[in-house]
Each structure stands twice: as structure tokens, then as C-alpha cells.
Amino acid sequence: MEKQKLQELLLDMSLTEKIEQLLQISGAYLENEGMVTGPENTVGFTQEEVELAGTVLGSVGAAKLRGIQKKYLEKQPHRIPLIFMADIINGYRTIFPIPLAQGCSFDPQLACRGAEIAARESAAAGLHLTFSPMVDLVRDARWGRVMESTGEDPYLNSRFAEAIVEGYQGKKCDDGSVDLKKRGKIAACVKHFAAYGAPAAGRDYNTVELSERTLRDDYLPSYQAAIDAGAAMLMTSFNTLDRIPSSGNRRLMRDILRDEMRFKGVVISDWAAIEEMLNHGIAEDRKEAAKLAIEACVDIDLVTTCYCRNLESLVKEGIVSEALIDEAVMRILELKNQLGLFENPYKDADEQEEKELILCKEHRLEARKAAADTFVLLKNENILPLKKDGQKVAFIGPHVESRKIIGAWSLFGKEEETVSIADALKARGIAAAVAKGSAVLDDNRGLEMFGDYVDYQKDAAAAAELLEEAVTAAKEADAVVLALGEHRVQSGEAASRADIGIPECQMELFDAVLAVNPNVIVALFSGRPLDIRKISAKARAVLAVWQPGTEGGNAIADVLYGDVNPSAKLAMSFPWSVGQVPVYYNEMHTGRPYKEGMKDKYLSKYLDIPNRPLYPFGYGLSYTTFEISPVRLSCNTIVRGQGESVSAGVTVKNTGTAAGKEVVQLYIRDHAASVARPVRELKGFEKIALAPGEEKEVIFTITEDMLSFTNIDMEFTSEVGAYSVYVGNSSETENEGVFTLI
Ligand code: GLC
């Protein structure tokens, strides 16, 4: 429909009808179905509100959504169709590894393929838009939603943000638009704006205190990347910034998001976030909350009555201009138009295609390959890969037979469709000893609402029996794979943990197995970096497999048996202990920087633990070895403002006996500037495949723009001075070159 027609439609709508377009209801109101992903609504909706709401969240299924849309249009005065939205975070039914794991692949195209597959499956199931990508920068492993992010680095997060938006929506057209009508594509919603990933104490929904400079240089780049890739919608965050909740923060949402970052799409509040301004204490009542939010250009009120019960009187009392309502409604109508819903309100909903696409062989294969490329080999004392013949391996631990390995946000994934490690062994014809050894958890504190779904220790006698079986299996094996780590519900939303260690019952199993067999390999399941000091010290190998998704078991077997050589690198630091958190590589020097081994007392350090994490950002081993030559710079000086650049080149050689992939990383350190600058920052990476003995040159081009930051005057610019360039295989590389910007 052309723009003119949309204008005419808007003019023809009553104020009530326009305001109803700004309401999103949960599918639970339409079909007694649909996912509820937040506190149950305290105030129910009237039948009229349900019948006129502009968008729906959480309902899926081609037949069901066609039925809802058909019934809705029969009553809709202007036959304006619904948009169906849901949280498709790491897959619809073919579940990919959690986003944090995908970030570790350092392969944005892996995430793009995952998003493409999620779009294909969910579009056939009738969905039009997903509340993804979540691009929040994270530095605190206590926060449960780190599993949803791609980690602690602004540059890495930005590359993944744009790749995931492209996977869902397709590439931008030459004119900068995105063709959302395309079959098998869904609209993307970047979230949570802004800086939701920095809650005080790692406690979900807690206060965020950041300087504006840190917000701009560390947190905003990934939202900007998603916006530049064409993300159709953006979701506000629950948290306050500068003591103002995002959904009511006019400066953040209008001045920064709309004006500076040039976001023109729809803004939706997070679940009940407009109403929650009452809890924050910045709105006396829902009417005031509605006023604050519409003035902060929040277009859609997600599942509360703030807008639909108050905007009309705010307009009639002259407190809110109707122009603000029209602006919001027009953005929603334009999104429906971009999706082609006026011409085809059912878009791709197709029962036959739904059956053919969901979990098809191709999708499963992609999910399996992706998972294997997200596993980080943290330690390997020549025990991996396992031998395919002549080696007796026992697979022990609460995650060996578990299919609860698809992550916290796989709302539509089904565990019965998931491949466990035990399933994979059977599929390979490996008759290995399997023993559970222990429950996942010592108790179900904080997880009571999950009932028996959570596997925790209930009975000491039964636990003793499990342990005994495991020790017997370990005794008779040449090597033991111990599948340990978190339950899938221990991370995700409202799942912060103050203790990020491994439960006692699992550590008891670890110690008991180690006592009878020193050849222990730990496959570590988690939605976050964990405190694994003891495991790391005593196991011969540790493979972080995160929450690997539908094909997780097969991917783990592929890597353990060497069919796939692990190539992932940490996208988030593994802390030494929770006391070190938040810990991240791109920290500041401080006035008293400490280097390991320094003896002075008055330095920025701990009395009881080291400063460096257990495993740093960008770190990960392979079954082969690589050599990276000293970095070669094309020149030592470039002139500011002349568009000049410097090249940094290395030669990478596979010096081992197995083919493998290396992630060559480029970091830059600004020696001195008008404000303190990080000890180094990732500014490029390249993942290259090398056969044994093969070598390749990797060259990075360093432009002046890559040196820019928010300076003392809050301007985004570069400054003259000396810069170090580091090129290596982790954030701790000392392979350095120096150049000067004059
Ligand atoms: C949740 C989450 C958000 C999600 C939304 C809709 O509370 O914070 O990420 O997209 O509600 O389910």
C-alpha cells in the first residue's frame, strides 16, 4: 500500500482505534495459548481491547494464526491486520546453540545461517517478527541473560548483531530499505535499549550506573549495528540509566535513539515496562506512565493497559498531543505494510511448509555444524580427541543422557527432538559405559516453580548409589568424559546467580571419578562462564559446550572423537572466581596498574586472587597448533584527517598434524588520550582454515575511524598520538607493533 493510502487510513481511524493499535496482548488472551514471558498481567483486558489490539505475542502455528487473523479481520473496522511476534532467540524448533556460544565461534555467518533457518521455520508457522537479536554487552557472569548475548566486546557484538538481523530479514536493498515481504523472512527487533546487560550486582532488572561516555563507546555500538543493518523494531530495557527507566527516558529514546542513531522503526516496551515505571517510582499512576512513555516515543505498550486506558483522556485533556499518537500509529502501520500484511495478512503461514521445514535434515545438519563450532577447548593435556578404536571411554554425569540442553530461551524447541550425548553415542554405534553419577543440583532453591523438571538431589541413599555406579564405570575405563555443569533453567531471564560454581553433588562426583581414573575430560554445560578453578586444575581436558541446542549431543561426539577440530574462542572471560566479577579484557589501566609478579603493595590488585581471569576473552585451543609471525606494519606514521591507514600483517602457520581453524584477532591500544582508554580493544578478527603445514597471510587495515572514541568534549573523534597494534590468538597476545597518528 503506498504511503498516501496509509495516511488516508490513519485519518479515517478514530482516536480509540488508533490507541488500540499501540497495544500488544499476549496470545494467551486470544487462544488461551501463547507464551507468557513475564509477570502475569495484574489488570485484565476488556473484550474490545482484545479485539482491537494491534499486535500479539507468543502464539505460533500456521493453522492457529491463520484462524486468529481471519477472526480478527472480521471485526477490525479498517481490516488492519495483526502482527504476530514471539521470542525466537536461538532457533524456532531447530534450536541452535545459545547466542553466547555463537559469539564464541567468532563466525557471524554461523549466526546469520541460524537466523535464516529460524526465520524460515517460524515464518511458515505464521510468525512475522522476532524479539531478537539481543545485543546487550555483558561483563558480569552472575547475570542470567549473558546466555542471550554474544559477549563482552562491542566490536564482536556489532558484527553478530548485523549478521543476525540480516539472517532474519535479508540484506538491505540498495536504497537502504529491507524487503520484509520476502518469503521465509521475519522482522527483527533489536533489544534491550539500553545497557540492560550491566545491572548492579549482576542481579536481573537492577539499576544500571554508567557514565555517558561508557554507554556510548561500549554499549551503544551493537544497537547501532543492528539499526544500520535495518532492524525493523527496537525494544526498550527494564533498567534505569541515570536513574530514569528507558521506557520513560526521553533523552535516551528521542535525542539519542531517534535523532543521533537515526532509528526510524517501531519501538516496543519490554514486558510491562511502561507500567513498571510505577514500581520505579517515577510515575504516580498508569496515566502518568503512559504520558512519559509516549513522549519517549515508545510506540507499543507490551501487555499493560497504560496506553489503552489513558492515552485518550491525555489527548482530550490536551496533555498529550494527538500528533504523538499519530506518529506511533503510523510507524506500526508502516511496519505492517513493509511485511505486506495489508495484501496478504497471513504472510507465509503454511501448514504444509511448516511440516516440511521444521527440523528438516538440512536444518539439523546446520545446527550440528554450528554447535561444534561454538565449543571452546579450554584445556587439553594430549587426551583429546578420543580414539575411535581400542579406547574404553565411560561417559558419566547428569548431562550425558539429558536432553535439557537447548538453553533457557528456546520457548518452542522440544527436548524430545533434542539429541543427547547418549543418543549420539548410540547413533555412532559406540557401546560405551554410561552412568549418571549425580543429580544436576544439590537442591532446587529459587527453582521451586519448576517442580520436578529440575533435577536435584532428593535422597542420600539414591545419590550414593548413583555415585557408586559411576565410580565402578570409571575404574574400568581408559578415560572418562564427565558431562557436568548448569541446568538450562539456571540461566536466562530472572536467573541471576551469586555463586557461579559447580554444585557440590557434581564436584563430589568429579572427585570420586578422579580418585580412580586421572584421565578425565569435562564437557561443561552452562549458560554463562562458571567458576571452574578446581575442575580446570585437575581435569586433563575441559571443553565448554554451553547449551548446544537440538543437535548438541551429536556435535559433542563430533568434537570429542575428532571429526571436528574445535575452533571457538571465548566471547566472555571465565572469571577466576565470582569475587572477580565483573571481569573483562578491555578494562582501564587505573593509576596503579598491576602486572603479575609485581611486589609493591599499593597496586590495583587483590590479596587473595590474581587480576587476570581463569581464561581470557579470545582464548581457545585446537587439536592442532598454530604459529603467528611477528606483526608487520606497513608504516609507522599516518596523518590525521587525510584518510590514511596502516596495514598490520602476520603469517599464520598450522604447525600441527590436524587441519584446523584459527581466529586471528586485531587489538589496538591508545597510549594516551584526553580521557582514559582501555588497555586494548578488539578492532578486527579473521577465522582462517589451514591444513597441516599450510600457512596464510592475514592483513588488517587500520583506519583512523577505528581509533575514534568519545573524547573529553563528548565528541566521537580520533586523537593524535602513539598506538599499539596487537595481532594474536587471544586478548592476551603480546605480538605488538607501534604506530603514531600525527
Ligand atoms: C521478556 C524479555 C524480553 C522478551 C519479552 C517478550 O520479559 O525481557 O527479552 O522479548 O519479555 O517476551
- Average pLDDT on 7-23 reads 97
**What pLDDT, in 10s, does the model give residues 215-245?**
999 999 999 999 999 999 999 999 999 999 9
**What pLDDT, in 10s, does the model give residues 291-310?**
999 999 999 999 999 999 99
- Average pLDDT on 93-105 reads 98
Which pLDDT band, with edges at 50, 70 and 90, does 40 fall under? low
pLDDT of residue 29: 82
- Which H or E run contains 31? helix 28-31
Ligand 1: atom nearest CA of 37 is: 12
Cβ–ligand 1 contact at 493 (below 6 Å): yes
pLDDT of residue 35: 61
pLDDT of residue 41: 58
Cβ–ligand 1 contact at 72 (below 6 Å): no
CA distances from 710 to 21, 536, 674, 740 (A): 39, 39, 9, 19
C-alpha span between 301 and 306 (Å, rounded): 7
On the question of pLDDT at 191 being above 90, the answer is yes
- 255 catalytic? Reply is no
- Which H or E run contains 11? helix 3-12
On the question of pLDDT at 68 being above 60, the answer is yes
What is the CA(526)–ligand 1 centre distance, in A? 21
On the question of pLDDT at 30 being above 90, the answer is no
On the question of pLDDT at 33 being above 70, the answer is no
Cβ–ligand 1 contact at 585 (below 6 Å): no
Which pLDDT band, with edges at 50, 70 and 90, does 87 fall under? very high
- Average pLDDT on 482-507 reads 98
pLDDT of residue 94: 98
C-alpha span between 332 and 54 (Å, rounded): 8
Ligand 1: atom nearest CA of 35 is: 12
On the question of pLDDT at 376 being above 60, the answer is yes
Average pLDDT score over the chain: 97
> Structural domains in the chain?
3-354 (3.20.20.300), 368-573 (3.40.50.1700), 626-741 (2.60.40.10)
**What pLDDT, in 10s, does the model give residues 698-717?**
999 999 999 999 999 999 99
Contact 399, 440 (CB under 8 A): yes
Q: Which three cell numbers stand for residue 517?
A: 581414573
Which candidate in 87, 136, 140, 270 is catalytic?
Answer: 270
Cβ–ligand 1 contact at 87 (below 6 Å): yes
The residues pairing with 726 across neighbouring beta strands, listed in sequence order, are: 667, 736
**What pLDDT, in 10s, does the model give residues 409-465?**
999 999 999 999 999 999 999 999 999 999 999 999 999 999 999 999 999 999 999
On the question of pLDDT at 34 being above 80, the answer is no
pLDDT of residue 43: 63
- The residue to mutate among 270, 412, 496, having the most atoms of ligand 1 within 8 angstroms of its beta carbon, is 270
What is the CA(137)–ligand 1 centre distance, in A? 17
DSSP structure string for 333-355 = HHHHHHTTTTT-TTTT--HHHHH
Q: Which three cell numbers stand for residue 630?
A: 611477528
Which pLDDT band, with edges at 50, 70 and 90, does 83 fall under? very high
**What pLDDT, in 10s, does the model give residues 522-536?**
999 999 999 999 999
Cβ–ligand 1 contact at 191 (below 6 Å): yes
Residue 518 preceded by cis peptide, ω within 30: no
